[in-house]
Chains A and B, each alone.
Chain A
Amino acid sequence: MNEIITTFAQALEKADVKPDQVCVPSDILFEPETVKRFGFDYFHTTRGRAIAFGTGLKLANPALKVVPFAGDLMTIGGNHFVHGSRRNMELTVICINNFVYRKIAGKSAPSAAQKFSPYSTFEEPFNIPHLGNSCSAIYTARWTALHTEELAASIAEALGKKGLSVIEILAPGPDYYTGISKVNVDLVRFYYDNSEIRNNEDPKNVGIKPDSRIIVGKFTSKERPTFIDQYNAQLSSVLGEKFIPHGIRSGADPGGKNGGD
């Protein structure tokens, strides 16, 4: 987790985004200590609501860069992901996948799954980039936490894009699930060693299956008007001059540094 935040900070630098424009709403499963040090605003929200909370931040102040970090994105927060992608809300979604629901390549992930499913799991996992792409997300990628350079490059690229991007990061669960951090290191090493970079691969082929290589890479990148762009276009075509485009009054801080109207 903390390593991912460090990589994220490198990506901000790379993309030339100042930390104080950045808001990171996260859901419950993601709460790294290091977020205190990098100078962006962090919100530890309720289970699965990082994207919903982030949607509110973005719509109330379109000048913000909102980067939801999600740990329970595909379960309790699944609907928000699907609709956020469909609307093309301007969010850079970082989804940390620790395989709570899946054993991988014959090895059971040392995560909450062991406690909840002592006899291992058998459910099919989501193919997150494929789901995002089918819901019209404009950018999809997957890396392991050890692909630090590629990951930082992907995040930086996604931050520059207008719309919903999703970057899946394969990373072990937090230390308190595994007990010994050595297990974490071993496991993330295992993900890394068993991965295969296939940039531009069709996301429908990148599902994670037991006993096969993990496909990582930057899969898709396209352009599509954002929610706010579409909203402004639609409303001005109907209301004409009566319409005050979104972001004029609620946006880039009319009332000075702290205030607003």
Chain B
Amino acid sequence: MKADQRDVLSGVYYIDGDVAAGYGALAAGCKFIAGYPITPSTEAAEAFARIAPKSGALFIQMEDELASVSAIVGGAWAGAKTMTITSGPGYSLMMETVGFGAMLETPFVLLNIQRGGPSTGVPTKTGQADMMQARWGSHGDYGLIAIAPESPQELFDYTIKAFNLAEKYRCPVMIMSDECVGHMTEKVVIPPAEEIEIEPRRWYTGSPDEYVPFKPDKDLVPRMVKAGSGHKLYISGRLHDERGYPVDDEHYKLKYVRRLVDKIKCNKDKIIELKEEQIDDADVIVVSYGISSRVAIRGIEMARERGIKVGSLRLVTVWPFPDERITELAKKVKALVVPEINYGQVVFDVARCCHGNANVVLVPHGGAGVHVPDDICDAIVSVAKEERKIEEVIEFKTKLEISVFGGGLKSKE
């Protein structure tokens, strides 16, 4: 299905990533955003609030993040495509309802413009330290999807993709951007509506009396109806059977919760998007996502200038994680270098998938800024020279950290 012309502000813009995400949401067919202002995500909400009334969509500022995310889950069940927008502290508050939405198999999008944490942290500057919270933040087992855009153009494009994935797999989709991309102003091209592909909701079209809310199709995803259309819905955050009625026993726990995890796991080949460059001859691969990928481009160039064969694997979707691809690459290369703006999150999943076949190096950054390309280059160069196989993740101290704490790769010995 193509996007609706009324929702697409086709043209060439010079806007920041937050605004691009707001435009992307409208283009994707989002009719309802509930949010609570928080730096550095506010511009996205403002952009949507400005354009939504002209195309029949609505933005409401709720009383808090708990209300915002609850309202968009409700809105999704009433038939709309919905999203909420937040950052660090707000994201933490939303976690209970993220699990609730996953349990109800509700399609909705959560835009997190990450900032420096913990707590109030550095509201106006960047961070990538919510990546594990995105995956495991709510209690219980469930699957979800997280995407990490690296430019304002991508914030537009991948916001649309996030809505499409949410509809297709009926799960929460997190757009895990960050302050740097959110506040970066670049050229953004919004194509004509007929070039934008939109995933419609998986409507159930049979007789209302025969509707079983949680009976899955072959791809493990059930079909949805609108609230208030005569289907006598009983929808509960409790463990439930296919009819939606609460059940307590192990049998259903195994069957139902397993499917919440499996519907993402079994479809992961269709969900995962990776961008690979100069992988074929590489001895070292930089695995990165979001803004760190852009900084890594220069780090890789510098290392190539110094004669190191280094390639790049960019995780566009971070969750679900591309286990098989990393395992495959780890067998071919000496090391994987993982720059991220935190003290080690995604790097541990990279290490898990390497099975000891390659060294794994974390290039951490404390946040409130991005890596210096030299740090990534230095990490690549030292690890390319490293003869030993090291079992644990090696933490490469960046220039800033060396000056503050001392150390580096060699301090490990």
| Shortest Cβ distance from A54 into B: residue | B74
Q: Is A41's CB under 8 angstroms from B97's CB?
A: no
Q: How far is the CB of B103 from chain A (nearest CB, A)?
A: 10
Distance of A248 Cα from B243 Cα, bound (Å): 32
Interface of chain A, helix or strand or loop or mixed? Answer: mixed
B55 beta carbon closer than 8 Å to chain A: yes
**CB under 8 Å from chain A, chain B span 357-376:** none
Distance of A25 Cα from B68 Cα, bound (Å): 16
Q: Which of B114-122, B146-154, B231-239, B314-322 contacts A (4 or more CB under 8 A)?
A: B231-239
Q: Is B54's CB under 8 angstroms from A46's CB?
A: no
Q: How far is the CB of A72 from chain B (nearest CB, A)?
A: 13
**CB under 8 Å from chain B, chain A span 176-202:** none
Residues of A within 8 A of B77 (CB): 43, 56-57
A: number of interface residues (CB 8 Å): 52
| Shortest Cβ distance from A65 into B: residue | B228
Distance of A197 Cα from B57 Cα, bound (Å): 45
Q: Is A46's CB under 8 angstroms from B231's CB?
A: no
B289 beta carbon closer than 8 Å to chain A: no
A40 beta carbon closer than 8 Å to chain B: yes
Distance of A53 Cα from B66 Cα, bound (Å): 10
Chain A, residues 112-143, CB within 8 Å of chain B (1/0): the string is 00000000000000000000000000000000
Q: How far is the CB of B184 from chain A (nearest CB, A)?
A: 30
B351 beta carbon closer than 8 Å to chain A: no
Q: How far is the CB of B73 from chain A (nearest CB, A)?
A: 6
- State whether A41 and B62 are in contact (beta carbons under 8 Å apart), knowing that A59-B75, A61-B80, A249-B56 are contacts in the complex: no
Q: Is B229's CB under 8 angstroms from A253's CB?
A: yes
Residues of B within 8 A of A63 (CB): 228
**CB under 8 Å from chain A, chain B span 335-358:** none
| Shortest Cβ distance from A235 into B: residue | B53
Q: Is B54's CB under 8 angstroms from A243's CB?
A: yes
- State whether A53 and B73 are in contact (beta carbons under 8 Å apart), knowing that A36-B234, A250-B31 are contacts in the complex: yes
B70 beta carbon closer than 8 Å to chain A: yes
B323 beta carbon closer than 8 Å to chain A: no
Q: Which of A6-14, A15-23, A146-154 contacts B (4 or more CB under 8 A)?
A: A15-23
Distance of A39 Cα from B75 Cα, bound (Å): 20
Q: Is A250's CB under 8 angstroms from B63's CB?
A: no
- State whether A20 and B66 are in contact (beta carbons under 8 Å apart), knowing that A55-B71, A244-B56 are contacts in the complex: no
Residues of A within 8 A of B408 (CB): none
Give 6 CB contacts A-B under 8 Å: A23-B228, A45-B237, A55-B67, A242-B54, A253-B226, A261-B29
